[in-house]
Amino acid sequence: MNVCIIGTGYVGLPTGVGLAELGNSVTCVDRESSKIEALRAGRVTLYEAGLEELFHKNVAAGRLHFTTSMKEGVEQADLVLIAVGTPPHPVTREADMKYVHAAATELAEYLKGYTVIADKSTVPVGTGDDIEVLIRKKNPQADFDVVSLPEFLREGFAVHDFFHPDRVVVGANTERAVEVIRRLYQALPDAPLLFVKRRSAETIKYASNAFLAIKIHYINEMADFCEKAGADIHEVARGMGMDSRIGPRFLQPGPGYGGSCFPKDTMALAYMARQNDVDMSLVKAAIEGNRKRKKQMAERILGAVADVEEPRIAVLGLAFKAGTDDCRESPAVEIIAHLLEGRAKVTAYDPKAMDTARALLGDRISYAESMYEALEGADVIAILTEWEEFKSLDLEQAARIMRHRRIMDYRSLLDAAATEKHGVSYQGIGG
C-alpha cells in the first residue's frame, strides 16, 4: 500500500518506519525542512530503542521517503495518516487544532482516486467531521473517507508497540474505509482490531490517557499517605497490583506524570467536559494534584539542603521517562525550574535527553557528560528519571566526590540500606 504520513515526530516517524518494515511504500511529510533534511541525510531525529536500525534498513530498501512537499506525499497515497501535534491552547488549554486543520486543508487539493485519511493525532471528539468538511470545502470532487485511528504507542517502546499493539482502535463510518484499514493490518495478524464509531474512537484515546493519569495521581497520593501512616508504598502497590481487577502497572509512585500526552490530554478532556456540561471531578483532581506534586517534590529537595548556603543539586534524569529523549512537560524540567527559583545551582545529566533539555532550560543549569561529573561537589542527588543506568551508581565513588552525601530517589531505583551503608542519606518516596 502507498502510505503518506503527515508529521514526522514521536508518532509519525516510528509509525512510518514500522509501516515501511511491513512492506508498504511510505512517504513522510513534514513542514520543518531541517527535520526532513536530517532524515534524508540518514540522521534519525529522535531517540527510540530499535528505531535507527529499522530506519536505515527501510531507507536502503527504497520503502521510506521524506519530503516537505504535501503534493509528493499525498497524490500517490491510498492512505494518508495525520500525525501532527495537538498541543494545549495557550489560553483555554483545550487541544489546539491549528496543525490538524492546516494539514487537512493542505492535503485536500492533492487527493487522487479513493483515499482514506486516518487521524492519528489525539483530537477532540467530532474532529473527524471537521476534517471531512475542510477537505470537502477545498476539493468538492475528492473521493475520500476520514477515519479515526488513535495512537496508543508508549514513548520509549514506540517500535515494540507498533509491532505488538494491545489494540488498534478504528473509528470508521464506511465499509470501504474499514477494508483499507483491514488490508493495512493484514501484515500484523495478531493485532486486535476494534471497529467502533468514529466519535467513540476519538473518545477512547482521551478516556484511556485520563484513566492512566488518574491511576498515577492516585498512587502518588497513596504514597503521601504511606509516608504519614508508616506504611511502605511499594509493598502496598505490590499488594494492590496482585488483584487482577487492578493490575500491577502504573502503580509506581514518582514525581508526577509528564510528557507530551497526559498533561495536555487531561486538560483537553476537562475542557471538553465543561463544554458538554459534565463535571469530570476525577480528571480535574488529577490535573491539580499533579501540578502541585512537582512543586512539592522540589520543595523536598530544597528542604534537604536548607542548611547549605549555596546548594548544588545534581539532577540525574531530564527526560519525562526512561527510553526517550522527550522532555516535553517533563517533571524533571519543572522541578528544576522550582529549584532555580529556590536559588539552587543545578548540574544535570541524562543518557539521551541532553539536547532536548538544553533547548528548554538553556544555560540556566550546567550539563554534565556523565553521572559522576554531575555529582562532583553536589549537596544532594535528585533522581528524576527511571533510567537503568542510574541503578548502577557506584555509591562509594558518589560518597567520595559529593560535598554532602544525600540522595532523593524519586524513581525508587536504589536500595535505601545499601545507600546508607556508604554513609549517603537516602530519601525515597512513600515510606
198 part of the interface to ligand NAD, by CB under 6 A: no
Q: Are 144 and 2 in contact (CB under 8 A)?
A: no
Contact region with ligand NAD (CB under 6 A), list: 24-32, 49-57, 284-292, 310-318 = 24-32
Q: Which three cell numbers stand for residue 102?
A: 492546516
Taking CB under 6 A as the criterion, the residue among 35, 293, 321, 405 binding ligand NAD is 35
Least separation in angstroms between residue 326's CB and ligand NAD is 7
* Distance, CA of 288 to CA of 290 (rounded, Å): 5
Q: Report the 10 Å Cβ neighbour count for 120.
A: 23
Residue 137 CA neighbour count, 13 Å, CB half? 10
258-297 residues in contact with ligand NAD (CB under 6 A) are 260-261
Give DSSP secondary structure letters for 298-355. Answer: HHHHHHHTTT-SS-EEEEE--SSSTT----TT-HHHHHHHHHHHTT-EEEEE-SS-HH
Beta carbon nearer to ligand NAD, 169 or 374: 169
Q: Are 20 and 63 in contact (CB under 8 A)?
A: yes
Does 305 engage in binding with ligand NAD (CB under 6 A)? no
Instruction: Assess 16 for contact with ligand NAD (CB under 6 A).
Output: no
**Looking at this protein, which amino acid is placed at residue 289?**
G
Q: Least separation, in Å, of the C-beta of 413 and ligand NAD?
A: 23
Active site includes 28?
no
| Residue 40 CA from chain centroid, whole number | 25
CA distance linking residue 5 with residue 81, whole number of Å: 5
Residue 24 vs 122, nearer CB to ligand NAD: 122
State the residue number with the nearest CB to ligand NAD: 9
Asked if 57 touches ligand NAD (CB under 6 A), the answer is no
* 151 makes contact with ligand NAD (CB under 6 A): yes
Compose the 72-111 pattern: x for residues touching ligand NAD by CB under 6 A, - for all others.
-----------xxxx------------x--xx--x-----
Q: End-to-end CA distance of the chain: give it in Å, rounded.
A: 54
Residue 378 CB, shortest distance to ligand NAD, in Å, is 32
Question: In the complex with ligand NAD, which residue's Cβ is closer, 108 or 346?
Answer: 108
DSSP code at position 88: B
For binding to ligand NAD (CB under 6 A), which residues are involved?
6-12, 29-32, 35, 83-86, 99, 102-103, 106, 120-122, 151, 153, 155, 260-261
Catalytically annotated residues: 261
